[in-house]
Structure 1
Amino acid sequence: GRAGTVRRLAVDVSPLRRVNQAIWLLCTGAREAAFRNIKTIAECVADELINAAKGSSNSYAIKKKDELER
């Protein structure tokens, strides 16, 4: 037996779901960055978008995507 290990399988996902998930991750990252911080939410959204566009691991969205795909 597998002793209850969960194996994640790659499945096809609709394009709309991919877009929705990307936007949700960007917003969540910006919200977490702005929480208890001097930076405005606008600055945090801008930073998150720039980091995600670069593919930087500083981006919450990129980190979560890599974590899910692992």
Structure 2
Amino acid sequence: MPCLADLFTPQRAPAPTLGLLTSVDPVPAATAGWLALGQRLGWTEWAGMTAVVSPNTIGTLAPQETR
């Protein structure tokens, strides 16, 4: 599913939104691995995903300066 979103989103979404969606890709993949395959991630993997997704989310949702 994330791969399909990566194919069709670039034509329709602004760059900051696309960056956020791309950085979030590991989260649904990890969730699917947990639900479908019983795989579990350790705290370091979750911390790594948080370290990538959080700054992108803050940067996307922060008010943009107008020039």
| Bin for the TM-score computed over the shorter chain | 0.3 to 0.5
Of structures 1 and 2, the one scoring higher in RCO (CA 8 A, sep 6+) is: 2
* Structure with more of its chain in helix, by fraction: 2
* Rg comparison, structure with higher value: 1
Normalising by structure 2, report the TM-score: 0.35
